[in-house]
Amino acid sequence: MNINELTAHEILRKIKAKETTAEEVHKACVARIEAVDKDVNAFVRLSDDAPDIKSHKGLPVPIGIKDNMCMRGVETTCASHILEGFKSPYDATVITKLKDSGAVLLGNCNMDEFAFGSSSESSYFGPVKNPWNLDCVPGGSSGGSTASVAANEAIWAIGSDTGGSIRQPASFCGVVGLKPTYGRVSRYGLIAFASSLDQIGPITKDVEDNALLLNILAGHDPMDSTSVNLPVPDYTKALERDVKGLTIGVPKEYFIDGMDPEVEAAVKETIEVLKKQGATFKEISLPHTEYAVATYYIVATAEASSNLARFDGVQYGLRVHPKETRKSKLIDMYEETRAVGFGDEAKRRIMLGTYALSSGYYDAYYLKGLKVRSLIKNDFDQAFKECDAIIGPTSPTTAFKAGEKTADPLSMYLSDIFTISANLAGIPGISLPCGFSKAGLPIGLQVMAKAFDEEMIFRIAYNYEQSQEWHKKRASL
């Protein structure tokens, strides 16, 4: 096995044993990117210079960074034309934490434009491909981050999750992706999509790496007013505990008509495995699940409309100068810059959100959406009185073919039906591999727990993972 195919914890052991060096690992990742990224398109830009890895201590492991996290002096575009040429004057808090840990930043990973999507097809830099089948999408919006890990271009990566944008692509690409509790990881320096939903999280090859990376990312940040000041445990300690005595809920709303039978079978087989390990299962109800997608696409688009209003050609990135024949050149510059700079999906969401916030519709749409969001959160609060965690599929299907849903936005939106609720409720959720379809595509299992109980998630996920071989499979391009 090539060094870039190993997990971070395996690499760290080899470095400690002097069986390899950080320089060799970095070179292996760069060589892999040069060999396969022309097909995968996981990266939009690489770090200009090879870092001085000899001076690195701690965790000198190459990591991919989603292209919506600010890095000082580095172009950061959210895979959008409108931010072309924008270089951040500061580092996001997670970038500072990674640098302090000794991590090696490989470059910016491709994504859906401004994180608007579930397939990573809306990028200005072209679509990302799924390493397991290049005819399929990797999921989105963190498709470049997950594909980079699945293709062994990066050892691990970070993404952002607003409605499933870490977990759904992790499911499609056969890797492990965690959306931490809202407020657990600082959002300072994350270019905002929907500020009450966005959360940065780790994407890795196995659960141990995920816990290791969350140890680096988590913690209070005074620069982020939504960051929660709570102690951060050592998440790797949670891996030492078994699942005996745990009660795990299975929502009846997460097994629906139209679900891929192979996905349903794989998740139900997972339940049997965990039962043998000592966990108890009970059927629960999350009755407002059916309203989650509609609620999300009111709340998220409204916040996106507000957040993206700042991109007008004045301070950031692209500026399109209006023709001399126009009368009001300032307004025309705004209009032409935004018309050229934003892609179709970004325009669609801006218009939806602006409509929901407009006079006469605010109460009917946005305010009602917030009320239903509270009902969805209450569903989880009630469920966690009965169980320690909730388990189900990450996505109703395996990865779909590229282009299959681009003409039908609603169909695309429904691919996040099982992940959106965790964002609306602010709770943590993880996706990890639990099988493969007959076509050889990964199937993802989702585990959710109450707020700030990522330890419970890691405990269940690790025990299941270690009893199987799914996480050891590697995509062969």
Which helix (DSSP H) or strand (DSSP E) does residue 397 occupy?
A: none
3-state secondary structure of 434: strand
CB-CB contact of 281 with 275 (8 Å):
yes
CA 413 → CA 141, 260, 292, 442, distances in Å?
A: 12, 17, 11, 20
Q: Which two tokens stand for residue 396?
A: 């109703």
Catalytic: which of 80, 165, 227, 305?
165
CB-CB contact of 289 with 251 (8 Å):
yes
CB-CB contact of 386 with 261 (8 Å):
no
The answer to whether 374 is a known catalytic residue is no
The answer to whether 66 is a known catalytic residue is yes
Which helix (DSSP H) or strand (DSSP E) does residue 338 occupy?
A: helix 329-341
Half-sphere exposure (Cβ direction) of 297: Cα atoms closer than 13 Å: 19
Residue 465 φ then ψ, to 5°: -55, -45
Instruction: Give the helix ranges, DSSP H, for 3-106.
Output: 8-16, 22-40, 93-101
Whether omega for the bond prior to residue 141 falls within 30 degrees of 0, making it cis, is yes
Catalytic: which of 119, 141, 415, 421?
141
The answer to whether 54 is a known catalytic residue is no
Q: Is the dihedral of CA 293, 297, 299, 304 positive or negative?
A: positive
The residues assigned a catalytic role are: 66, 141, 165
